[in-house]
Structure 1
Amino acid sequence: MFGDTSSIDFSGLIRENDLVVCGQATAEPVTLTEALMAQAAHLPAFRMMVGPIFSDTFSGTCASVSFQSYGVIGHARRLARAGRLDVIPSNYSAFCADFASRRHKADVVLVQLAETADGRLSASLSNDYVIDAARSARVAIAEINPDAPWTFGAEWPEDVPIHVRVAARRPPVELPSPPPDEVSRKIAAHAASLMADGSTLQFGVGRIPDAILSSSSHARNLGIHSGLINDAVVELIERGAVTNAEKGIDAGITVTNQVIGTHRLYRFVHQNKAVAVRPTSYTHGQGVLARINRLVAINSALQVGLDGSVNSETLNGVAIGAIGGQLDFVRGANASPGGRAIIALPATASDGTSRIVVQVETVTTPRADVDAIVTEWGISELRGCGLAERARRMIAIAAPEHRDALSAQLRGVAL
């Protein structure tokens, strides 16, 4: 069946307690999710599995819909603040693998696809858990979006059926890069000093990763193997800083799991054989990451303890972040020849409190895996250091107004 959203009657498709899985981030099939939410009050109660949310689709959801996710990213924080989001504490790689093994089993899948003139389909902006979810779903519904880029690596498998096809009513969700501020520029300058020529970069979403990428144009023959790419990658490629020539694998190819940016990025990746949107098992796989030369993993945090433990998930007992692919890439970078695992964060939170703390409340990346911590005040090299030296180095990159208090608190705590 092919038509517009008026032809979709979800009352004939959604059953009591169904798990509905939809594409995440910029791959959200907004035509379908908006139609589903508009009809939700008249449907049986169901569960919705979401990833990062960058649209306003779920801001006015009804009480009969419950939500699950592997983290609290973007507008998913609205659901979390309302107590409507159940967080599954899982590494992103394991979360995706659970759909492949059917530990998680979707009943209904909503997906955004791109299509060529000869009918070949691509998952376009994300090659995550949706294909495996659709493989065993009762119903798979595809929103065919003519504005979604057709990407290599994300070809839709012929053995995974699409039961309903719908024409998209709007272009894909876009996420512009935030402008850098003074703190992010200082952090970026420190982090960029850890990148050698020929490094392969992994990074996330946000002001600090974007600033670091912008500060990396001095390097030569950079590669990209990341969970996502954004508009800043286009800049690096067009400047000639990214060649993907020295990665050790995938020579000449930018590898990513998701494409998160604006129309400029979407045009760049469309039918571009130099970009591969690969499945999570490849982009986050430890065996793959260990083969990459000089993998530099750049990730963020909410807090870092004086022992090096990293918290990217909770503050004051409330989930406001995610495990995501952080530990996957930290361990992958540690195993990579010449690799570096960088955790970059501002030393001070928006309320003035220190983000360098004596002990973190939730451990996302254990202290045993930590390599380098970067704030606007400098770099703390922690690999191979004992606990006392770690504490000294961490206090040195805290904001100056918090250093004495951290030293005083440390005296009463056993790390």
Structure 2
Amino acid sequence: MPQEASPIDFPGVIHEGDLVVCGQATAEPVTLTEALMAQAAHLPPFRMMVGPLFSDTFSAACAPNVAFQSYGVIGNARRLAKAGRLDVIPSNYSAFCADFASRRHKADVVLVQLAESGRRLSASLSNDYVIDAARGARLVIAEINPDAPFTFGAEWPEDVPIHFRVAARRPPVELASPPLDDISRRIAAHAASLIADGSTLQSGVGRIPDAILSSLSHARNLGIHSGLINDAIVDLIERGAVTNAEKGVDSGITVANQVIGTQRLYRFAHENKEVSVRPTSYTHGQGILARINRLVAINSALQVGLDGSVNSETLNGVAIGAIGGQLDFVRGANASPGGRAIIALPATASDGTSRIVADVETVTTPRADVDAIVTEWGIAELRGCDLAERARRMIAIAAPEHRDALSARR
């Protein structure tokens, strides 16, 4: 039986050079990560692998002996990146997770948040790389959170040992949906015109994906197969827009890799057999995605070039985003019967500069994979277009004040 321990004496278990992996996003085991950071000054130098951060556990000033790593810069991870404390591994999310399964990335210590139902355990809010990281780890410490939902599909494998159990001292991290604004609603109105009844949706976190989802309450027989689900998905299910009846796979089931939202979402997902939190090899697997009917991938970007190349990673040489699952789902949607791959973004940044540019500084999704780009000014349908026609269509959806300058760069 795993030992009950509270608090963990990390100086006794962290070795010099260890790779410590913790659950990401809302699956962060905050009781454990807060204790780790509180004791970090007494620990030897080690590496810490994090994903999106939505807690305040890790600050730029904390733990100078800790080298942070991630597959992207999402949420509060930007604080670490801005301070030069975060090394980014530029990898598609599917490949990043697979690298733990293959032991390319080998964890020494794994910190995980679990839900418990009877004698069963579930990874609850995320079925990502943590289980595979735990398979080869020297030490696995589980934070058992009574407020975390027990989700099907994410059951903790019996062959992966848990060495210590700790009682959670607070509910799971929550991430509320941001308020919608006029620009996101205008973008959503254009994007919604590309989404037919019976489509299966993938979307991310943020104002624009939420706006697009909220504009679909009139739709019928939508399905969900996504890297994540949030509160906006619950809205669509409760309004009857999502039935998962026409997906072609997993009929009647909402499929996701992560659950990111509020307690309302967590209560909805708890022991709900119509929600399945599946491993990345399934949610992002090209063979699965190609079998889904009318898969519509909804993703955002920092910049899009006149040739259609998409940048979701860097601005002015600084990492502020991630590859994530964007390319996984773009290619999956392109392979899906009747699928669409939508990249939606505001035409201008907060400082007034154009987000439609002559050339992107980093290519996240290559121009050969791009389908439709959407801004508040319209839709640029790029699939099958030559470069001259792509540039013309991209300029047409740029902000009017930037169109002349972009035309001069063609």
TM range (shorter): over 0.9
Contact kept, 8 Å, 1:27 with 1:111, in 2: the verdict is yes
Q: Does 2:225 correspond to 1:243?
A: no
What is the aligned partner in structure 1 of residue 308 from structure 2? Answer: 308
Q: Show the counterpart of 2:67.
A: 66
Residue equivalent to 1:371: 371
CA distance in 2 between partners of 1:169 and 1:152 (Å)? 24
Alpha-carbon displacement from aligned partner over 1:378-415 (angstroms, at most 9, x marks no partner):
000000000000000000000000000000122xxxxx
Match of 1:341 in 2: 341
> What is the CA distance between 1:218 and its match in structure 2?
1.4
Q: What residue is the counterpart of 1:103 in the other structure?
A: 104
Q: Report the alpha carbon displacement of residue 250 of structure 1 after superposing the two structures with TM.
A: 0.1
How do residues 389-408 of structure 1 correspond to structure 2 at under 5 angstroms?
Answer: 389-408=389-408
- Mapping 1:279-294, distance limit 5 Å: 279-294=279-294
Question: Once the 2 structures are TM-superposed, how far is the Cα of residue 178 of structure 1 from its aligned partner?
Answer: 0.3
Following superposition, which runs of at least 4 residues in structure 1 exceed 2 angstroms of deviation? 1-6
SS in 1 for 2:187: helix
Counterpart secondary structure, 2:271: coil
- Paired residue secondary structure (1:373): strand
Deviation at 1:223, TM superposition (A): 0.1
Could you report, residue by residue, the CA deviation over 1:295-314 in whole angstroms, capped at 9, with x for unpaired residues?
Answer: 00000000000000000000
Q: List runs of 5+ in structure 1 lacking aligned partners.
A: 411-415
Identity of aligned residues (%): 87
Give CA-to-partner distance per residue, 1:91-127, whole Å, 9 cap, x none: 000000000000000000000000012x100000000
| Equivalent runs, 1:3-402 vs 2, <5 Å | 3=4, 5-6=6-7, 8-59=8-59, 60-117=61-118, 119-402=119-402
Amino acid aligned to 1:219: A
Give the match for residue 413 of structure 1.
none
- For the residues of structure 1 that align with 2:6 and 2:84, how far apart are their CA atoms? 30
> The residue matched to 2:258 in structure 1 has which SS?
strand
Contact kept in structure 1, 2:191 and 2:212, CA below 8 Å: yes
Is residue 2–residue 167 contact of structure 1 (8 Å, CA) maintained in 2?
A: no
Once the two structures are superposed, residues 168-217 of structure 1 have per-residue CA deviations (whole angstroms, 9 ceiling, x without a partner) of 00000000000100000000000000000100000000000000000011
Q: Provide the secondary structure at the position in 1 that maps to 2:409.
A: helix
Deviations 1:308-349 (A, max 9, x none): 000000000000000000000000000000000000000000
Matches of 1:253 and 1:11, distance apart in 2: 44
- AA paired with 2:78? R
Distance in 1 separating the partners of 2:295 and 2:363: 23
Q: Is the Cα–Cα contact under 8 Å of residues 127 and 154 in structure 1 kept in the other structure? A: yes
Q: For the residues of structure 2 that align with 1:63 and 1:50, how far apart are their CA atoms?
A: 16
Opposite residue 234 of structure 1, the aligned amino acid is V
Q: CA offsets per residue over residues 212-247 of structure 1, 9 Å max, x none?
A: 000011110000000000000110000000000000
How much has 1:5 moved relative to structure 2?
A: 3.5
Q: How well do the aligned residues superpose, as a CA RMSD in angstroms? A: 0.7
Quote the Cα distance in structure 1 between the aligned partners of 2:342 and 2:217.
Answer: 18
Secondary structure, aligned partner of 1:132: helix
Check whether the contact 1:4–1:168 (CA below 8 A) recurs between aligned residues: no
Q: Which blocks of at least 5 consecutive residues in structure 2 are unaligned?
A: none
Q: Counterpart amino acid of 1:389?
A: E
1:330-379 CA-to-partner distances (Å, cap 9, x unmatched) read 00000000000000000000000000000000000000000000000000
Asked if the contact 1:53–1:73 (Cα under 8 Å) also holds between the matched residues in 2, the reply is: yes
Residue 2 of structure 1: CA displacement? 4.8
Equivalent position SS for 2:137: coil
Q: Deviations over 1:63-88 (max 9, x none)?
A: 10110000000000000000000000
Distance in 2, Cα, partners of 1:104 & 1:408 = 46
What is the TM-score when the length of structure 2 is the normalising length?
Answer: 0.99
Give TM-score scaled by structure 1 length.
Answer: 0.98
Inter-partner Cα distance in structure 2 for 1:132 and 1:3: 23
| TM superposition shift of 1:61 | 1.5
What is the distance in 1 between the residues matched to 2:252 and 2:383? Answer: 31
Shift in Å, 1:3 = 4.4
SS at match of 1:37: helix
- Length, aligned pairs only: 408
| Aligned partners of 1:5 and 1:35 also within 8 Å | no
Q: Deviation of residue 62 (structure 1)?
A: 1.4
What secondary structure sits across from 1:5 in the alignment? coil
> Residues of 1 paired with 2:340 and 2:58: CA distance?
38
Contact 2:4 2:164 in 1 (8 A): no
Partners of 1:370 and 1:218 in 2: CA distance: 27
| C-alpha distance in 1 between matches for 2:403 and 2:387 | 17
- C-alpha distance in structure 2 between counterparts of 1:224 and 1:180, whole Å: 22
Answer yes or no: is the 8 Å Cα contact 2:3–2:163 preserved in 1: no
Partner Cα distance (2:56, 2:179) in 1 = 22
CA contact (8 A) 2:5 2:164 kept: no
Distance 1:29 1:104 in 2: 21
Give the SS at the match of 2:329. Answer: helix
Please give the alpha-carbon distance, in whole angstroms, between the structure 2 residues aligned to 1:322 and 1:62.
24
Q: Whole-Å Cα distance in 1 between the matches of residues 353 and 403 of structure 2?
A: 12
Partner Cα distance (1:316, 1:166) in 2: 43
1:248-303 CA distance string (max 9 Å, x none): 00000000000000000000000000000000000000000000000000000000
SS at match of 1:202: strand
